[in-house]
Structure 1
């Protein structure tokens, strides 16, 4: 995927990547993305914490995990939206726990992890999905507090999530963490520097954590789901209205991506993330991965290189 307009040097994503989850391009809604996939059978009985679980992608991920047999702990800022998301997972209530929490609260993720352990006795995986886009415009014109707020949510929130669950995971020598990132962290995104820089930092944090966690048998991934038909790409006009004049160029780029087939099917994005939690990609711990990567082939290649 190329970057937003205004950046002639922004590279195009490598071509030729397989789409293992949805070759037919099916599944374009959060509800459709939740049907069970036999490759996810290994998730049955596991406990997964999902941040930003009330939003479009977080809700779809939570539903897919629940349909695969996982016990899902949903967290987010809006208690009502969180309860609606939990009720919509389509599984028995005793397999779902909603714990409201704001990632800017230093103790929020500790409370989420503690609630998960009390209810289910274990935490097997964490999906750090919550994020904000941050202010848009030339960086030097932006309100510094708004710019830094994006760091607080997107980077520090990920750090807090990891710190909350890793004592349990390392003690049990098992666990997987998926940090949801973006191509904005791999290339430059003019007019969206707060978002871009925060995601770049999460990618590097993931690389460091992977090395530190290797001896503890815990895997961590930086995962880019692609540009999805939820959130900002779902309604570029509304996105531009909410974020002001600087968002118009990005909104136009979003429309171009949608018109040219540049969106990733939601089912593909969700299923690939869930596959990371099964252990299928553990040899790739620390890597930046995308929804269209052929995980099995990449993992086999990494194993061969390690011999």
Structure 2
């Protein structure tokens, strides 16, 4: 179980706005020092100034999380400034316009694979070895409610967020054997009132041929509420943090169908040795 205590160091990417900024603020209110990163250098400086006013040390490092070299510089800066870090939040999210999966271009696939998935891979490769070496700390990877369920018309977003969920599940199992003092949580928020949610978390609106999303409309929650739920999940050592209004509406149908169809398929004969 991960305890968040004053004086620890949290690294948070995507901290210039939205959930990343709210996570950084929540850590600051608990007395954690911060290394914050974002590609938006101006917004990052504003966040740094706001957090510094809360009485904690804050280092702002403009970072392109899709670049392994840029993330490596972020990790090096954290170690040079504080000598260690305890919490790592690989937080990023982007979506393309809504369209059927067969119309998504190669460039659109590559954009989301890089932003939503490769960025998390870069963060794991850079930060997890230090946590494993000291056998303490916690990793938070941001996915989405769309990493636990599907919405027609945003296959590129769905695929990348499912991949982040699977990556975190695997990481946690690996840590349990190699460094049991290190935890891992995947953040799967529903609709959160952020710049991205202006397009809705399910994905941006498409044209006349865009599929219709087949999920109930639910209210958005505030970033600070999502952050508080997430920090509680970290301290409880949960694998899944799901800040959302009635998340079971989206999750239960998939799980129930999987269990039903597996249970009703014939069992194949065991191959003879």
Same fold (TM over 0.5): yes
1:14: which partner in 2?
A: none
2:236: which partner in 1?
A: 281
How far off its partner does 1:111 sit? 0.8
1:189: which partner in 2?
A: 151
1:204: which partner in 2?
A: 166
1:74–1:97 contact (8 Å) kept in structure 2: yes
- For structure 1, which segment, 177-186 or 201-210, has the greater mean C-alpha deviation from structure 2 after superposition? 177-186
Question: What TM-score do you get using the length of structure 1 for normalisation?
Answer: 0.71
Question: What TM-score do you get using the length of structure 2 for normalisation?
Answer: 0.79
1:213: which partner in 2?
A: 175
* Alignment of structure 1 residues 55-70 onto 2, 5 Å: 55-70=17-32
Question: 2:88 and 2:209 mapped to 1: Cα distance?
Answer: 31
1:226–1:291 contact (8 Å) kept in structure 2: yes
Question: Aligned to 2:96, what secondary structure does the other structure show?
Answer: coil
1:224: which partner in 2?
A: 188
C-alpha change, 1:246 and 1:133, in structure 2 (3 Å) is farther
1:185–1:199 contact (8 Å) kept in structure 2: yes
In structure 1, the gaps of 5 or more residues are 1-39, 294-307
Question: 1:196 and 1:276 mapped to 2: Cα distance?
Answer: 23
1:66–1:91 contact (8 Å) kept in structure 2: no
Structure number with bigger Rg: 2
In structure 2, the gaps of 5 or more residues are 246-273
If asked which structure has higher relative contact order (CA below 8 Å, sep 6+), I would say 1
How far off its partner does 1:231 sit? 2.4
1:41–1:69 contact (8 Å) kept in structure 2: no
C-alpha change, 1:65 and 1:264, in structure 2 (3 Å) is same
1:290: which partner in 2?
A: 242
* Alignment of structure 1 residues 70-219 onto 2, 5 Å: 70-91=32-53, 95-214=57-176, 215-216=178-179, 217-219=181-183
Question: 1:253 and 1:95 mapped to 2: Cα distance?
Answer: 45
